[in-house]
Chains A and B, each alone.
Chain A
Amino acid sequence: MKRHLTAREAGLMSCHVCGQLAHIPADRAALLRCPRCRAPMHLRKPASVSTTWALIIAAAVLFVPANLLPMMTTSSLLGRQQDTIMSGVVFLWQSGSWPLAAVVFFASIMVPLLKIIALAWLTVTVQRRSRRSVMQRTRLYRIVEFVGRWSMLDIYVITILVALVNFRGLATIEAGPAAIAFGAVVVLTMFAAMSFDPRLIWDPLTESGKPATHV
């Protein structure tokens, strides 16, 4: 692959807030600030790997109750029913709504799961300074970031249902504890994707043999 000059190799860095370019000072341990807007300046997102790890682990932990606990409680004349995400998918599948079942399954179970796995893999490879399939990993990161906002689908559906279906005595829908966990998973993975610095994927190519960039 053709190598290009990076800003760091050129001795430059940019402000994350206002985008101002500046020369990297010689004192590397110092805390840098933007010469224009005084925002803290970093060569890479600070503590990107550890932050991403923390958020991924948190998301993975919450992914368990999100899938095991009831997502919503439907009370109606026909009785009270608690549904987990999976039982909802099973119900949709059994009642013949296969496309809908597939959508819910992918949006609510597969996407968060794959996001967690993808981010974990990206972080691991970055930590191991892998130089392989850099391009693919970058694309994966783009997909993960793009998909993030759509995995709130379930939460949106429940929010709308809870607001709409509230005929006192006839039928009410309440969000279950899994909804909170699920929302947390989605938010945490979004933050994890944000805290991950994709430039770290490319770094091993530029500084072969050099110690990892920090701060």
Chain B
Amino acid sequence: MSDPTPPALPTAVVDPPRRFRIPLVWVIPIVAALIGLFLAGRTWYEQGPVVTLQFRTGAGLEPGKTRIKYKDVDVGQISTVRLAKDGSHVVATAQMAREAAPLLVEDTRFWVVSAKVSGSAVSGLDTLLSGTYVGMDAGKSSEARRDFVGLEDAPVVSLGVPGRSFALHADTLGSIDVGTPVYFRRIQAGQVTAFKLDDAGQHLDIQVFIKAPYDRFVTIDTRFWNASGIDLKLGAEGLQLNTESATAILAGGLAFETPPGGDTEAAPAGQDFRLFPTRAEALKQPSSNAQIWQLRFTETLRGLSVGAPVDFRGIQIGEVISISPDVDVDAADVGLQVDIAVFPERMQSRRDATQDMSEADFRAFVDRLIKRGLRAQLRNGNLVTGQLYVAMDFFPNAGTAKIDWAGQPPQLPTQRGSLDELQATLSRIAAKLDRLPLDDIAAETRRAIAGLASAVERTEALMQRLDGLASNEVRAAVAETQQTMAEARAAVADGRRLLASDAPLQQDLRDSLQELSRAAQSLRHLTDMLERNPEALLRGKPEEKP
């Protein structure tokens, strides 16, 4: 404003020309390329191997989503899931993390983890939120592998857990399943890892894994038994209840224990064991030490079961190992044969007399025992249930018997059972009573009395006729005779009354005899029925079936 005429345009100031400049701007793409190379290199470096996994189904496998976890750490991701060429299974490819590469060896296992609820456990609950994932268990082999076949079920014990596997053989599976706990002194010491039927279909092979601190308690002599549920046993010993734990009641379980005096050296991995159904059976003496005897009974064996005790005056010395009919074709007879195992250790005297006895001495000893009346007898161990047991006892009145040492096994003489004996005696009494000719005796007596009465009457008539003829002396004698006759008649009348079929005495006697006979019969019925239906004592007489 103060200067109305604008000044002239200035000219740019000239600086001396600069030295040649490095075009710094090209550093930028070089740096960018370096960064790009670095990122690519790092990604390539971090990228582990690609593995293929075979699964039966693709359930839950999502490409780009499903993770592969090892020890609950992500080690990879399923990248594609496609059907195998023949359509029989699903092939998934997985991009593994670099650090997982050494874990991908020959015996590495993969399986699909999804939520699973079984009787004993709820597993994989986290997958409800995060979705199914693939579990991995690193193997120990040193041989690398890139294609795997996925397991159907998650392995119960991962390979890294210290411990040892053992094989059990059982007749039935019971409530055992993969994952069923194995208890040692009621501590969970391991798990069932697998089971399968053997090739013949006769037995089950059950694999158990015992964890590290407990596996050294498994020795050659260790016994395994099924601790599933409640072991309620009703035997000749009465009612027995055993259980391992509350979990075992619900979900089943196995248990093991080494009987005292057993080998203390740990068994090698993979050792075979028998799985016993109960603890009591498992801890019994091994049957190799047992002496087998054979018993032959003619009476019914209803109520006797395999495993029933063999008892000597209250001490169990053995058990019944088999019951079978013994057909004698020549004699056309069917007997019942019971094999018993007797454990000599349980009969050891304090002097260990039987311990170092020679075979011949032992036989002589048993022969002497038999001579003294040692017999086997069936006895009722439990009146309520009718369970029988085999009792060994001395019967001094028993007839002579000998052991057939040639028999395999040798046969011990038997004595009829106590209840059987009572029944037989009662039957004998009843039969004898039946044979008494009571009616004949009564008729004979009656006839005799009748004859006596007619004689008396005839004598009386004679006396009366004589009365008119006779002298006084004679009359006196006749009178006396008449009186005697009257007395005799009274006596006869008394006798007749006594012997009348409705006379109280005879009636009483007959009633008593009849009662006795009926009682004998009832007793026989009762014993028969109890033998047939031991439960009748508890439940009453069973309904007659038409």
Contact B25 A50 (CB under 8 A): yes
Most chain B CB atoms below 10 A, which of A78, A79, A188: A79
* Contact residue among A24, A38, A181 (Cβ-Cβ distance under 8 Å from B35): A181
* Contact residue among A30, A51, A55, A81 (Cβ-Cβ distance under 8 Å from B16): A30
Cβ of B31: which chain A residues have Cβ within 8 Å of it? 58
* Contact residue among A29, A54, A78 (Cβ-Cβ distance under 8 Å from B28): A54
- The chain B residue with its CB closest to the CB of A12 is B9
**Contact of A59 with B by CB under 8 A:** yes
Q: List CB contacts (< 8 Å) of B1-33 with chain A.
A: 9-18, 23, 25-26, 28-29, 31-33
Cβ of A79: which chain B residues have Cβ within 8 Å of it? 65, 67, 130-131, 133
Cβ of A24: which chain B residues have Cβ within 8 Å of it? 11-12
Cβ of A29: which chain B residues have Cβ within 8 Å of it? 17
Cβ of A61: which chain B residues have Cβ within 8 Å of it? 29, 32-33, 35-36
Contact B17 A30 (CB under 8 A): yes
Cβ of A23: which chain B residues have Cβ within 8 Å of it? 9-12
Q: Per-position contact with A for B17-61: 1 when CB-CB < 8 Å, else 0? A: 110000101101101110110011011000000000000000000
* Contact residue among A33, A47, A55, A68 (Cβ-Cβ distance under 8 Å from B15): A33
A27 to B14, CA, bound (A): 8
Q: List CB contacts (< 8 Å) of B197-227 with chain A.
A: none
**Contact of B239 with A by CB under 8 A:** no
**Contact of A32 with B by CB under 8 A:** yes
Q: List CB contacts (< 8 Å) of B66-123 with chain A.
A: 67, 74
Contact A21 B32 (CB under 8 A): no
A29 to B19, CA, bound (A): 12
Least distance between A9 CB and chain B CB atoms (Å) = 15
**Contact of B329 with A by CB under 8 A:** no
**Contact of A19 with B by CB under 8 A:** no
Contact B67 A25 (CB under 8 A): no
- The chain B residue with its CB closest to the CB of A51 is B25
A38 to B130, CA, bound (A): 65
- The chain A residue with its CB closest to the CB of B66 is A79
A47 to B17, CA, bound (A): 16
A8 to B31, CA, bound (A): 36
* Contact residue among B16, B23, B35, B65 (Cβ-Cβ distance under 8 Å from A62): B35
- The chain B residue with its CB closest to the CB of A177 is B39
A181 to B18, CA, bound (A): 36
Least distance between A52 CB and chain B CB atoms (Å) = 9
**Contact of A114 with B by CB under 8 A:** no
Contact A32 B12 (CB under 8 A): yes
- The chain A residue with its CB closest to the CB of B35 is A62
Most chain A CB atoms below 10 A, which of B16, B28, B31, B131: B28
Cβ of B11: which chain A residues have Cβ within 8 Å of it? 22-25, 35
Least distance between B115 CB and chain A CB atoms (Å) = 14
Contact B13 A33 (CB under 8 A): yes
**Contact of B469 with A by CB under 8 A:** no
Q: A65-B36, A87-B64, A177-B39 are in contact. Are A31 and B10 (CB under 8 A)?
A: no
Contact A69 B13 (CB under 8 A): no
Contact B10 A55 (CB under 8 A): no
Cβ of B29: which chain A residues have Cβ within 8 Å of it? 54-55, 57-58, 61
**Contact of B353 with A by CB under 8 A:** no
Contact B36 A64 (CB under 8 A): yes
A80 to B129, CA, bound (A): 12
A195 to B133, CA, bound (A): 51
A34 to B9, CA, bound (A): 12
A21 to B67, CA, bound (A): 66
Most chain A CB atoms below 10 A, which of B18, B29, B67: B29
Contact B9 A21 (CB under 8 A): yes
A195 to B16, CA, bound (A): 25
Cβ of B25: which chain A residues have Cβ within 8 Å of it? 47, 50-51, 54-55, 195
* Contact residue among A58, A68, A78, A188 (Cβ-Cβ distance under 8 Å from B131): A78
- The chain B residue with its CB closest to the CB of A22 is B12
Contact A31 B15 (CB under 8 A): yes
Cβ of B9: which chain A residues have Cβ within 8 Å of it? 12, 21-23
A87 to B31, CA, bound (A): 28
Contact B12 A65 (CB under 8 A): no
A12 to B11, CA, bound (A): 9
**Contact of A77 with B by CB under 8 A:** yes
Least distance between A81 CB and chain B CB atoms (Å) = 8
Cβ of A104: which chain B residues have Cβ within 8 Å of it? none
A184 to B29, CA, bound (A): 11
Cβ of B28: which chain A residues have Cβ within 8 Å of it? 54-55, 58, 188
Contact A80 B74 (CB under 8 A): yes
**Contact of A122 with B by CB under 8 A:** no
Q: A64-B36, A69-B39 are in contact. Are A80 and B14 (CB under 8 A)?
A: no
Cβ of A80: which chain B residues have Cβ within 8 Å of it? 67, 74
Contact A32 B15 (CB under 8 A): yes
Q: A30-B15, A62-B36, A80-B74 are in contact. Are A35 and B26 (CB under 8 A)?
A: no
Most chain B CB atoms below 10 A, which of A30, A41, A80: A30
**Contact of A186 with B by CB under 8 A:** no
A111 to B101, CA, bound (A): 39
Cβ of A184: which chain B residues have Cβ within 8 Å of it? 32, 35
Contact B13 A34 (CB under 8 A): yes
Contact A35 B36 (CB under 8 A): no
**Contact of A206 with B by CB under 8 A:** no
**Contact of A13 with B by CB under 8 A:** yes
Contact A35 B130 (CB under 8 A): no
A188 to B42, CA, bound (A): 23
| Closest 8 A/B residue pairs (Cβ) | A58-B32, A35-B10, A58-B29, A32-B12, A31-B15, A57-B29, A33-B13, A23-B11
Residue ranges of B at the interface with A (Cβ–Cβ < 8 Å)? 9-18, 23, 25-26, 28-29, 31-33, 35-36, 39-40, 42-43, 64-65, 67, 74, 129-131, 133
Q: Can you give 19 A-B contacts (C-beta < 8 A)?
A: A13-B12, A21-B9, A22-B9, A23-B9, A23-B11, A25-B11, A25-B12, A30-B14, A31-B14, A35-B12, A41-B12, A47-B23, A51-B23, A54-B26, A59-B32, A64-B40, A77-B129, A79-B67, A184-B35
Residue ranges of A at the interface with B (Cβ–Cβ < 8 Å)? 12-13, 20-25, 27, 29-36, 38, 41, 47, 50-51, 54-55, 57-59, 61-62, 64-65, 68-69, 77-81, 87, 177, 181, 184, 188, 195
- Given A35-B12, A50-B23, A57-B29, 10 more A-B residue pairs with CB atoms under 8 Å apart are A21-B9, A27-B14, A30-B14, A32-B14, A33-B13, A34-B12, A47-B25, A65-B39, A177-B39, A184-B32
